[in-house]
């Protein structure tokens, strides 16, 4: 029946009815438009062009307590939200405030899921992303995570995953990250991970881990996370036997240590962590995990540069893995290894010389001096100069 309705120009006739004050009329007009336009891209674009977006937001605003009308408006937004033109139109309305209102009052999973779907689509637009944060979406996500973290119901797990995914989408700029950290979102994500690492729900684990990794990037949130003991909690979680989870946790630790000498020192003087890292450096069955363990070792040395950390990594037999990293196919990985070796050589040359000679690092470095990547050449030359007792220039 859709085709004859479209051909008869029924949709343009129905649009003005969305301005009606009669709730029955609104409900039936909204349902009819939704059904006729479902899965029809051209018609949906036409709807946006003739101004359906402000009408839908008005329904959400004026009839926020009417379940049937809210459902119709949300369903329509869900079908239109992927269109760039719809996002543009929505950015000129107060839709963010209304979606927060509906998130707070949602009493069933179906309603929560449709609001999350709309939010996820809108978060792809930078202007809307800012509006969603300002309207209080992070606070509602924090409340939701807190409320659902003890639940093992499948529906609650879906909502937790959706909330974690949305956190990743909303992380625009350092201010948003810090706001999330200050709301306690980090510890809620870690609580979730502790629970789901035991139950083995990988979808929630990966969503929460992605959110954690993104939160650990800006310097302002790194500092706060370190002060709140996040590094120690991540280390506890490393007991998980899942290589993909271990991989992401190591990546988060590496981001926390990036530029943070104190964090690198704490990690670099934890014998248990160093022992595990060296074990993972030998993990040939999981190359991603192996690579991340190597990179974290190099990062700890590069960002701390203390004699105690060099000695601890030596005692854990980590230096030979840094040497192996220099022959990686990836220039960035080679750079990280060379930089760490240069630091270690400058600080603790006496103990290291024997190890470096055994691993034939000089021959490797001399080869790298003719590498195609200029940064690799620079780091190789610097490390060689340090090993020969020359002053790097």
In which residue are the tokens 């990686």 written? 328
Distance CA 196, CA 215 (A): 20
Distance CA 120, CA 141 (A): 13
pLDDT at 201: 65
Q: What is the value of pTM for the model shown? A: 0.77
Residues of the chain whose pLDDT is less than 50? none
**Helix 154-170 vs helix 137-148: crossing angle, to nearest 10:** 150
pLDDT at 358: 63
pLDDT at 103: 94
Distance CA 172, CA 33 (A): 35
pLDDT at 19: 92
Angle at 21 between CA 15 and CA 23, to 5 degrees: 90
Q: Which uninterrupted H or E stretch holds 249?
A: helix 243-257
Output the six-digit token pair for 25.
Answer: 């009329």
pLDDT at 175: 74
**203 burial via Cβ count (<10 Å: 0-12, 13-18, 19+):** middle
Residues 333 and 290 sit within 8 Å (Cβ to Cβ): no
For 110-114, which contacts have Cβ atoms below 8 Å and span 24 or more sequence positions?
A: 111/71, 111/74, 112/159, 112/162, 113/158, 113/159, 113/162, 114/74, 114/75, 114/78
**Nearest by Cα to 237 from 288, 194, 185, 272:** 194
pLDDT at 355: 67
Residues 257 and 267 sit within 8 Å (Cβ to Cβ): yes
pLDDT tens-digit map of 111-166 = 999 999 999 999 999 899 989 999 999 999 988 988 887 777 888 888 988 998 99
């Amino acid at each position: 029946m859709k085709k004859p309705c479209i051909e008869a120009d029924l949709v343009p006739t129905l649009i003005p009815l969305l301005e009606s004050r009669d709730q029955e009329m609104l409900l039936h007009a909204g349902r009819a438009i939704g059904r006729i336009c479902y899965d029809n891209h051209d018609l949906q674009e036409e709807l946006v062009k003739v101004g359906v977006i402000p009408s839908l937001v008005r329904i959400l605003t004026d009839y926020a307590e009417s379940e049937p009308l809210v459902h119709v408006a949300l369903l329509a937004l869900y079908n239109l939200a992927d269109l760039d033109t719809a996002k543009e139109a929505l950015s000129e309305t107060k839709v963010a405030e209304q979606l927060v209102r509906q998130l707070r009052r949602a009493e069933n999973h179906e309603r929560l899921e449709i609001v999350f779907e709309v939010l996820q689509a809108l978060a792809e637009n930078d202007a809307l992303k800012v509006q969603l944060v300002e309207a209080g979406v992070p606070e509602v996500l924090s409340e939701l995570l807190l409320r659902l973290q003890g639940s093992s119901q499948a529906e609650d797990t879906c909502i937790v995953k959706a909330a974690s995914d949305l956190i990743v989408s909303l992380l625009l700029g350092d201010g948003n990250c810090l706001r999330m950290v200050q709301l306690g979102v980090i510890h809620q994500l870690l609580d979730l991970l502790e629970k789901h690492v035991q139950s083995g729900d990988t979808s929630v684990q990966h969503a929460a881990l992605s959110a954690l990794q993104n939160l650990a990037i800006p310097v302002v949130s790194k500092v706060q996370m370190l002060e709140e003991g996040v590094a120690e909690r991540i280390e506890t979680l490393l007991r998980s036997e899942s290589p993909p989870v271990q991989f992401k946790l190591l990546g988060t630790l590496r981001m926390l240590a990036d530029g943070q000498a104190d964090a690198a020192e704490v990690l670099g003087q934890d014998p248990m962590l160093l022992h595990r890292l060296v074990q993972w450096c030998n993990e040939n069955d999981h190359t991603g995990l192996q690579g991340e363990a190597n990179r974290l070792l190099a990062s700890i040395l590069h960002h701390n540069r203390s004699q105690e950390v060099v000695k601890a990594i030596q005692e854990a037999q980590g230096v030979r893995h840094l040497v192996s990293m220099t022959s990686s196919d990836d220039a960035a990985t080679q750079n990280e290894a060379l930089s760490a070796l240069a630091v270690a050589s400058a600080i603790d040359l006496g103990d290291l010389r024997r190890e470096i000679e055994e691993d034939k690092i000089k021959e490797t470095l001399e080869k790298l001096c003719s590498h195609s990547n200029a940064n690799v050449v620079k780091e190789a030359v610097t490390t060689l100069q340090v090993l020969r007792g020359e002053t790097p220039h």
